[in-house]
Structure 1
Amino acid sequence: MRFQNSVFVDLLKPIDRRAFAGIVARHKGDAYDKSFKSWDHLVVLICAQLAGATSLRALETAFNANGGFHYHLGSRRLARSTLAEANARRPVGVFADLFARLSCELDRRTRRDGAELLRLIDSTPIPLSKFHDFARSNGRIHGMKMHVVYDPGIDRPFCVEVTPANVNDVEIGKKTPIEAGATYVFDKGYYDFKWWRSIHEAGALFVSRPKSNTRLADVAEREMPQTRGEGYTVLRDCEVELASKGDSKLRMRLRRLHIRRDALKDGKPQEIVMITNDMTRSAVEIAALYKARWAIELLFRWIKQHLNIRKFLGENENAVRLQLIAAMIAFVLLRIAAHRHDVDLPCLRFAELAGRFLFTRRPISRLDRPPSKYQAARRLASPRQLVLNYA
């Protein structure tokens, strides 16, 4: 009978072991943990994400209970003390570089020719308990933040960085590589004229919201052939320039749009103001771009609800960072597997089934289907009974 890998082995197949070994060598990832290699560490942390293990003891028990699969995973038996030490000492760069490589693989598999280059930039808070003494507070939460650049068209996060909670969002935004022809959408947390100008000079576009104290002078009104969009109405569209007495300059053409959303806030229609350097798209199209920013909020919600980033396997900063990056690696592996095996299931349902059947030998494309009668009969047969295999 044809050999069938477990679901977990198939999920890990997109990882090039030779390339991963190069990453480990570059970061000296195995310098201090020679018996518990970086690959062993990666496999265990991804298992924790997909299986929903929330403690070292639970992870140790669940992983070792499936010892028959360790050979094909290229891993070995787990001791929680060994994992705790590796979480504290292994360089985060090993997992971060692997995530970047897998994100490129996801882009290669899902990229559509002629698709619009839309980049959503945002961060999400990661609250931590008082036992994480390294955590910082920003006035709202005590913990860390995870910054993500996200392509909603192909459901691809391709830049991830973890920082203390008191780091300003725009400081991480400035590190984002700018792609010519792309449109970057972000909120007020990324308010920085110099960065906006660098986006414009790189041949890219941005859509954001100005702060209430930004002084903008009207230059010219723009025509609005269409004012009604899905869930909003464009009230005004005009070209503006910065009216500042200081040294702040924005040497580019800008547009300011006033949008009224149909959703009520405190019983009243909500009006928002947007600013952009896009002089080509219609006002309705630009408003739709900012509305699409909600997709990254849905990404954060999905990750927090269905992956393990609420309870951490260590109390030190390195362990928290490793677990967050491992969660993003698990997300990308699920997305690659869904495209590779033509899985026709909602993301939530596919993730639940993958976690449930992680160490089961069955095709990923048939996770939602019961095993065949022949396979069920073979499992019920006595181990002493000879089984005839027909060619």
Structure 2
Amino acid sequence: MDKNTRLSSFGKWVSPINFEKLYEQTEIFKSDYYTKKLTTKAYILFMLYAHLQESESLHAMSDTLLDEDLQDALGLQSISASQLSRRHNTMDTQILTDIFVNLVTKIKQHHAGQRGSNFPLKIIDSSTLPLNLTKYPWAKFRKTKSGVKLHLRLVYMNKDTVYPDQAVITTAHEHDRNQLEVLVDDREAMYVFNRGYIDYERFDRMTDDGYFFASRLKKNAVIREVASFDVAKDASILSDRMVYIGTTQNRAENVFRLVEVIDTQGKILRIITNRFDLDAMAISEVYRSRWAIELFFKWLKQHVEIKHFYGMSETAVHNQIYLALIAYCLNVLVQLETKGRKSLLRITRWLKAAIWKPAYVWVRRFDGRASP
């Protein structure tokens, strides 16, 4: 299996996963005890392959094992949907979480020292994944609905390269702002989030503790102007002021900066921040970077398989989401290795076209030297 996996394009794609550490974890968690066919490693490779091919069910996954190349890569010739289900529902999510964290560390190492990386933008947002109430009663959040929420922190390197570096999965009823305590932990970054995270008390704590942020302020927020700054002659910047926010009963203690801008659709955005060292246009651009996390969630829902869940337990759902994040990180590592010459979508398409061909066939395509 190892030889075949290393030589193929698929093997090249999954090679950043530390399989030696994975083996150590399988010993600690005893995840391969009494396992006759589908080892932890084979399970992870199979699930990543399923994400890549966007397999809609465990039965569809089982059928793909008619492919002899996949058989060689996984080290098994067949497996039933029921066996896959048992493995998926019992796999310890911590193993997948550790793989995700390790890949994030490798991504950070790739761009360490790059210009701007000493003070990165970290975008915080969440996305709700709807579930059927009958099948997923443990995730109920409305009278007739179930769902889970993926709370994510996304590092913005540039407009072409972003990556998730922390994720929290909760049921959908969990409020976004409850996760700020978990997702804000780096004083060497600037955090960007939307109106769902507005919390004046927490804004005060973040400011007092030395964390920088920019957020869109709600339209009905009460403000009291302290001072006004001159703005550059730019049609998109309406005002730049120092303000108190909140009512007498619920008011932030610190003075913040409020920048009002017009977005590309002609709407007025009110951006609140505790950064006073940047000009208004820079603050506007910082907040505009938030679109990257919307594109990330869109990519996740369109190019890996999280529209259809393979299991109905909480563990199965969490496992599938973490495997999707792992697949994304593997693509980012390829993008960084090839110096960002191609988009993640192009990387994925070429990988699928050359998946069992030698790795060099896939890799040299990035230089335009060959077609898979």
TM-score (norm 2): 0.87
Please tell me whether the aligned partners of residues 9 and 73 of structure 1 are also in contact (alpha carbons under 8 angstroms).
no
Give distance in 2, aligned partners of 1:241 and 1:34: 64
Give a deviation string over 1:87-126, Cα, whole Å, max 9, x none. Answer: 2122212111210110111121134433141011111121
- From the superposition, tell whether residues 219 and 177 of structure 1 become closer, same or farther in structure 2 (CA, over 3 Å): closer
| Cα distance change on mapping 1:75 and 1:252 into 2, 3 Å | farther
Find out whether 1:197 has 2:204 as its counterpart: yes
Residue 244 of structure 1, aligned match among 242, 247, 252: 247
Question: Where do residues 219-234 of structure 1 align in structure 2 (5 Å cutoff)?
Answer: 219-228=226-235, 233-234=236-237
Q: 1:123 to 1:87 in 2, by over 3 A?
A: same
Q: Across the two proteins, how many residue pairs are aligned to each other?
A: 359
Distance 1:75 1:149, change over 3 A: farther
Which segment drifts farther, 87-96 or 351-360? 351-360
Aligned CA distance change for structure 1 residues 346 and 49 (closer, same or farther; 3 Å):
same
Match of 2:333 in 1: 336
> Match of 1:84?
85
Greater gyration radius: 1
Q: Secondary structure at the match of 1:159?
A: strand
For 1:6, the equivalent position in structure 2 comes to: 8
Cα 1:217–1:34, aligned 2, differ >3 Å: closer, same or farther?
farther
Q: Does residue 1:145 correspond to 2:149, yes or no?
A: yes
Q: What letter corresponds to residue 330 of structure 1 in structure 2?
A: A
Instruction: Please tell me the residue identity of whatever aligns with 1:241.
Output: Y
Counterpart of 1:119 in structure 2 is 122
Q: 1:68 to 1:299 in 2, by over 3 A?
A: closer
CA shift in 2, pair 1:32/1:143, >3 Å: farther
SS in 2 for 1:124: strand
Q: For 1:288 and 1:91, how far apart are their aligned partners in 2?
A: 41
Q: Distance in 2 between matches of 1:27 and 1:226?
A: 62
In the alignment, which of 168, 180, 183 is matched to residue 161 of structure 1? 168
Unaligned 5+ segments in structure 1 are: 264-268, 372-391
Matched, 1:208 2:220: no
* Aligned residue number for residue 363 of structure 2: 365
Matched-pair contact (CA < 8 Å) for 1:106–1:335: yes
Distance 1:309 1:235 in 2: 41
Contact 1:258 1:274 in 2 (8 A): yes
Moved more, 69-78 or 86-95: 69-78
**CA separation of 1:31 and 1:176: change in aligned 2, threshold 3 A:** farther
Instruction: Give the alignment's TM-score, normalised by structure 1.
Output: 0.83
Q: How far apart, in 1, do the equivalents of 2:284 and 2:34 lie? A: 52
Distance in 2, Cα, partners of 1:140 & 1:172? 25
Shift of 1:334: 1.4
Structure 1 residues 184-216: Cα deviation after superposition (integer angstroms, max 9, x where no partner): 000011112233233323422100122344332
Structure 1 letter corresponding to 2:156: P
1:1-391 alignment runs, 5 A limit:
5-25=7-27, 27=29, 29-30=31-32, 33=35, 35-62=37-64, 64-68=65-69, 70-71=71-72, 77-115=78-116, 116-130=119-133, 131-137=135-141, 142-153=146-157, 154-228=161-235, 233-246=236-249, 248=250, 250-263=252-265, 269-341=266-338, 344-363=341-360, 364-367=362-365, 369-370=370-371
Structure with higher helix content: 2
Q: 1:166 offset after TM fit, Å?
A: 0.7
Question: Do 1:109 and 1:339's aligned partners in 2 also have CA atoms closer than 8 Å?
Answer: yes
